[in-house]
């Protein structure tokens, strides 16, 4: 929940994503607010989202291979065009074996070489499927489950809580010793995006489950396994049982429930059923003396299922998850079946993204820093960096002033908050140093091997960090990523180069637009430092309760009102936005908007902002903010987003303006306007 929008790229590898890269002509101008994107027939007080974006929505038609388009996807488009140029140059460079350029070129080739993929075919999967088939004892099952562990989750930075492996590993600064990295273990075990897909009794979810059973069966059949229907039935039953043991996304987001240090002996005592010593031995974690278990009840429940459910069901689950994760790299038929379910049924797209695009995405994520190093050099000017840093500095001043003027917070708490703001490390554009890919072996003609090696490379890299001193300057996003992130355990922010471009940011554009667009995004990330999660970490990144009970009571009361505000938004008759699940992000939007509005006014130094298309500076500021969230999304994808994303859909993020007094003044919003909130109902936090 710390990032600005959900991390989309891993899913994109199979073209499953909600928003990513647009093909429609850019609907925004490169400077200032986009008037053609607006709908002047809508009154701003009735539907500010449509007022700011109605023109864009009306003329945006989703191509068959897109689940959604948005302003973020316009920028992603641009970023991927830039990345494509970097990759294309690498393929022509004939770079030395072992160099980053050569790895970029070879990974790209391995994805594009469909003949090589089909010639290796299922042979790549067979030895691994045979190993699963040879499991006969609980000891061997624990070994296989341990071998499946990967570093594929992230609880606080990207907030990715999903892994299909039984558990997921995340290595990050320790809650209890933030100067060193510690292993966090998270719940997992299901392939569908969230436990609600297994547990909900709504008709639409039942229909998805019926299609899912057919899909699992088809995957087994296409991978050449016997009895595909019986295996699929066992897998879905076991995943459903696992889903019942999982805790909800909203509960997973509550870090006050997550700091559970377990020693190896605790696993046997608190979560009997799995042969834990063998699990940890296979996972390369048998020397580790402490883990932080994020969702203890799920570990208890899932370990019990290992003992209570038939071993054949677990073998089928392991086989299916292997086929689902890697099958697309071994056969066109498996890739198409996977897309038919995850791309079409779950996201509403009917066509895959072009192959070369998917290859670019794979390279840009797997070799993120290798591509990013070239990207930052080539596409991020020193001028953009210094101007973005100036906006960040003004936002920090605005926050500091707001903290100093707070009346509800105890002086001691306020002092620590201001200290925390003072030690916040804000990095703009790209990291100071880059990771090495020396240990990652890439070949030009075996995609499966490359994907397998890349997964292990990430895992071993994470293992090697455990116990090491924390690198406070580390980045968790690549420069080519259109997003921004707050790293609470590092007390740091990353603003990648790729988001610091029009339409979010233009060094030569009007201040009203820059503050309304990128300024509110910067404010959003800064505010995570002080939201319901950030408040759990002190200025050194330690988990420490530095708030008085009265501070916390006030904060909880105000934010409960905000959660209730979002609960009223209903994109579908059977689904409403989950106020508690999206609370941290909504707080960040409210606070970011307020601080950016202050910073905009400070930047004017007493002068009047020039009008653009007859809009005042304040109007441009709010329109720019509303236009950040313009989007068109297919229903299936929107449903998935509401259930699995800590961020509310863009339509509702734009309505954050309801809580900002300046918006009422700028557009003369009156009590008879639909979005009007009485001053006492406007949520003010910082
Ligand atoms: Zn956020």
Query: How do residues 421-434 score in pLDDT, each as one tens digit?
Result: 999 999 999 999 99
Q: CA 19, 476, 419, 410 torsion: positive or negative?
A: positive
CA 485–ligand 1 middle distance (angstroms): 7
**Residue 491 — left, alpha, or beta (φ > 0 → left; ψ -120 to 50 → alpha)?**
left
DSSP secondary-structure letter at 169? Answer: E
CA 548–ligand 1 middle distance (angstroms): 25
* SS3 (DSSP) at 227: coil
CA 594–ligand 1 middle distance (angstroms): 15
CA 561–ligand 1 middle distance (angstroms): 19
For 233-288, give the secondary structure using H, E and C: HHHHHHHHHHHHHCCCHHHHCCHHHCCCEECHHHHHHHCCCCCHHHHHHHCCCCCC
Integer Cα distance of 425 and 344 in angstroms: 41
Among all chains, which residue has been given the structure tokens 């499966």?
Answer: 448
Average pLDDT, integer, range 605-621: 96
Average predicted confidence (pLDDT) for the chain: 93
Instruction: Write the DSSP assignment of 495-562 as a string of letters.
Output: EEGGGSSTTT--TTS-HHHHIIIIIHHHHHHHHHTTSTTGGGB-TTS-B---S-HHHHHHHHHHHHHH
CA 156–ligand 1 middle distance (angstroms): 10
> Residues 484-495: pLDDT tens digits?
999 988 889 999
3: tokens are: 């990032």
pLDDT at 30: 46
Does residue 498 contact residue 75 with C-beta atoms inside 8 Å? yes
Under the banding of pLDDT at 50, 70 and 90, the label for residue 170 is very high
C-alpha to C-alpha distances, 522 to 393, 398, 414, 526, nearest whole angstrom: 10, 12, 21, 6
CA 172–ligand 1 middle distance (angstroms): 19
CA 239–ligand 1 middle distance (angstroms): 30
> Residues 442-456: pLDDT tens digits?
999 999 999 999 999
pLDDT at 11: 31
Question: What is the signed CA dihedral for 664, 669, 670, 674, rounded to 10 degrees?
Answer: -110
CA 556–ligand 1 middle distance (angstroms): 18
CA 482–ligand 1 middle distance (angstroms): 13
CA 282–ligand 1 middle distance (angstroms): 36
> Residues 109-158: pLDDT tens digits?
999 999 999 999 999 999 999 999 999 999 999 999 999 999 999 999 88
Integer Cα distance of 316 and 179 in angstroms: 41
> Residues 199-247: pLDDT tens digits?
999 999 999 999 999 999 999 999 999 999 999 999 999 999 999 999 9
Report pTM: 0.89
262: tokens are: 């377990």
CA 587–ligand 1 middle distance (angstroms): 9
Under the banding of pLDDT at 50, 70 and 90, the label for residue 9 is very low
**Residue 433 — left, alpha, or beta (φ > 0 → left; ψ -120 to 50 → alpha)?**
beta
> Residues 302-336: pLDDT tens digits?
999 999 999 999 999 999 999 999 999 999 999 99
* SS3 (DSSP) at 426: strand
pLDDT at 278: 98
For the chain, what percent of residues have pLDDT higher than 70? 96
> Residues 20-71: pLDDT tens digits?
323 333 334 446 999 999 999 999 999 999 999 999 999 999 999 999 999 8
457: tokens are: 């490379």
pLDDT at 15: 27
Taking 3-state DSSP, the helix, strand and coil percentages for the chain, each rounded to the nearest 5, stand at 55, 5, 40
pLDDT at 574: 85
Backbone angles phi, psi at 343, to 5 degrees: -80, -45
CA 398–ligand 1 middle distance (angstroms): 18
pLDDT at 17: 28
216: tokens are: 């699992």
Please determine, for residue 7, whether its predicted confidence score (pLDDT) is greater than 60: no
pLDDT at 606: 94
pLDDT at 546: 86
CA 395–ligand 1 middle distance (angstroms): 16
34: tokens are: 């986009």
Q: CA 80, 67, 634, 195 torsion: positive or negative?
A: negative
CA 496–ligand 1 middle distance (angstroms): 14
CA 620–ligand 1 middle distance (angstroms): 23
572: tokens are: 């579908």
* SS3 (DSSP) at 168: strand
Backbone angles phi, psi at 57, to 5 degrees: -65, -40
Smallest CA-to-CA distance from 178 within 259, 250, 257 is with: 259
Please determine, for residue 281, whether its predicted confidence score (pLDDT) is greater than 50: yes
**Residue 224 — left, alpha, or beta (φ > 0 → left; ψ -120 to 50 → alpha)?**
left
Question: What is the signed CA dihedral for 552, 557, 563, 565, rounded to 10 degrees?
Answer: -150
Length of the chain: 686
Provide the β-strand partners of residue 167. Answer: 187
Integer Cα distance of 292 and 71 in angstroms: 38
Kind and range of the H or E element at 104?
helix 100-112
CA 588–ligand 1 middle distance (angstroms): 6
462 Cβ contact partners less than 8 Å away, ≥ 6 residues apart: 151, 169, 170, 171, 183
pLDDT at 541: 81
Residues near ion ligand 1 (CB < 5 Å) are 585, 588
């Amino acid at each position: 929940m710390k990032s600005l929008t959900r991390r989309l790229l891993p899913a994109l590898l199979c073209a499953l994503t909600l928003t990513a890269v647009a093909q429609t002509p850019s609907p925004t101008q490169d400077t200032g607010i986009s008037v053609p994107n607006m709908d002047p027939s809508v009154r701003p007080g009735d539907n500010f989202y449509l007022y700011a974006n109605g023109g864009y929505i009306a003329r945006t038609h989703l191509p068959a291979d897109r689940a959604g388009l948005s302003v973020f996807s316009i920028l992603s488009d641009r970023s991927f065009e830039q990345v494509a140029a970097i990759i294309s140059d690498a393929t022509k460079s004939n770079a030395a074996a072992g160099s980053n350029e050569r790895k970029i070129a070879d990974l790209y080739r391995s994805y594009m070489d469909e003949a090589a993929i089909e010639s290796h075919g299922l042979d790549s999967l067979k030895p691994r499927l045979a190993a699963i088939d040879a499991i006969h004892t609980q000891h061997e099952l624990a070994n296989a489950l341990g071998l499946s562990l990967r570093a594929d989750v992230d609880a606080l930075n990207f907030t990715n809580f999903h892994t299909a492996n039984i558990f997921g590993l995340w290595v990050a600064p320790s809650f209890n010793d933030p100067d060193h990295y510690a292993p966090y273990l998270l719940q997992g075990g299901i392939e569908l995006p969230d436990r609600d897909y297994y547990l909900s009794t709504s008709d639409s979810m039942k229909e998805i489950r019926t299609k899912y059973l057919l899909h699992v069966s088809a995957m087994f059949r296409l991978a050449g396994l016997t009895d595909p229907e019986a295996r699929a039935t066992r897998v879905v039953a076991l995943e459903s049982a696992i889903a019942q043991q999982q805790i909800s996304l909203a509960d997973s987001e509550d870090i006050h429930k997550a700091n559970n240090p377990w020693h190896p002996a605790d696993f046997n005592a608190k979560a009997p059923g799995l042969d834990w010593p063998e699990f940890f031995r296979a996972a390369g974690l048998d020397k580790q003396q402490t883990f932080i278990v994020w969702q203890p009840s799920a570990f208890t429940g899932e370990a019990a299922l290992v003992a209570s459910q038939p071993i054949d069901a677990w073998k089928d689950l392991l086989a299916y998850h292997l086929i689902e994760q890697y099958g697309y790299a071994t056969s066109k038929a498996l890739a198409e079946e996977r897309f038919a379910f995850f791309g079409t049924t779950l996201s509403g797209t009917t066509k895959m993204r072009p192959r070369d695009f998917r290859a670019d995405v794979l390279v840009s994520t797997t070799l993120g820093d290798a591509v990013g190093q070239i990207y930052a050099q080539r596409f991020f000017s020193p001028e953009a960096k210094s101007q973005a840093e100036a906006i960040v500095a003004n936002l920090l001043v605005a926050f500091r002033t707001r903290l100093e003027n707070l009346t509800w917070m105890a002086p001691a708490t306020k002092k620590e908050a201001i200290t925390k703001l003072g030690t916040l490390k804000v990095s703009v554009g790209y990291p100071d140093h880059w990771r090495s890919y020396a240990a990652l072996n890439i070949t030009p003609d075996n995609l499966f091997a490359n994907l397998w090696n890349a997964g292990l490379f990430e895992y071993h890299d994470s293992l090697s960090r455990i116990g090491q001193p924390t690198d406070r300057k580390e980045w968790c996003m690549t420069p080519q990523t259109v997003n921004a992130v707050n790293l609470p355990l590092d007390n740091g922010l990353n603003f990648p180069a790729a988001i610091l471009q029009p339409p979010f940011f233009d060094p030569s554009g009007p201040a009203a637009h820059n503050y309304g667009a990128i300024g509110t995004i910067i404010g959003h990330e800064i505010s995570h430092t002080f939201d319901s999660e950030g408040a759990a970490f002190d200025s050194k990144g330690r988990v420490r309760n530095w708030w008085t009970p009265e501070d916390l009571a006030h904060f909880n009361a105000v934010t409960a009102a905000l959660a209730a505000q979002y609960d009223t938004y209903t994109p579908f008759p059977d689904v409403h936005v989950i106020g508690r699940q999206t609370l941290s992000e909504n707080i960040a939007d409210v606070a970011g908007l307020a601080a950016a509005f202050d910073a905009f006014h400070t930047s004017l130094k007493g002068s009047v902002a020039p009008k653009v298309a007859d809009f005042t500076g304040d109007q441009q500021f709010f329109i720019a903010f509303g236009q950040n969230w313009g989007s068109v999304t297919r229903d299936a994808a929107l449903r998935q987003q509401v259930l699995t994303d800590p961020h509310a859909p863009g339509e509702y993020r734009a309505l954050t303006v309801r809580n900002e007094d300046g918006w009422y003044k700028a557009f003369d919003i009156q009590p008879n306007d639909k979005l009007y909130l009485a001053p006492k109902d406007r949520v003010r936090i910082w």
